[in-house]
Structure 1
């Protein structure tokens, strides 16, 4: 795990990979809870029997936004940012869902620092993030995630 506590420490990683999280298994319970939280109960996510018969994947799949919502958890396995008053999820750019995440798949996050700028005391980071699916060639998604860090 990499640890940083200032803009200068962050900036020295520009253009470099920060690392890769551990794998996380996606369960049907997680998918169902996400469906309940977001009111998105499309059958391809929550109806196991119908998905086995009618889905081109022969399985239920995780919501794309569920796979995005685990990004902060997986990010915390890669990077520890100390001396921070707050961190804001500022945006996601160039997001492309490329491969569905099936129930039971294991995913992990790979992150590279694209840019790091000091905006009058607020550190804006742009990171290339890929959610990899164990055993598959295509990533679940690739995107540029943007965080704002307010260091003390």
Structure 2
């Protein structure tokens, strides 16, 4: 259940390719903007225009991520006239995210420094701010140790 760049929505082909459903669920939540949308919807339903204004994202970005979350059955909408009001379908998702926050607090957010953490690279290979900071820290450490491995 990852965003398909050509279609712009979540696809479940990953499950058919052998990725366990739990991995697909976490992949669907691996995008910061989707997490921001989920967090906002946890406070109550919202229209696309509301999410655009509150989150500072482009309308197309919000729509694409809502489509992904809908494909995953985590979000749905109700129509009222010409407006659509989005809401979470699974309130227990917030329990899962709260548990993740507790785990991150307990591990000192070590996942940010994990060298295998590479979920935020775009097509051009751009690094996220935490990854760029990690690279700078590694470079400073290399300069201080002369490139030798420190145990």
Q: TM-score range by the shorter chain?
A: under 0.3
Larger radius of gyration: 2
Identify, as 1 or 2, the structure richer in helix.
2
Q: TM-score under structure 2 normalisation? A: 0.24
Q: Which has the higher contact order (CA 8 A, sep 6+)?
A: 1
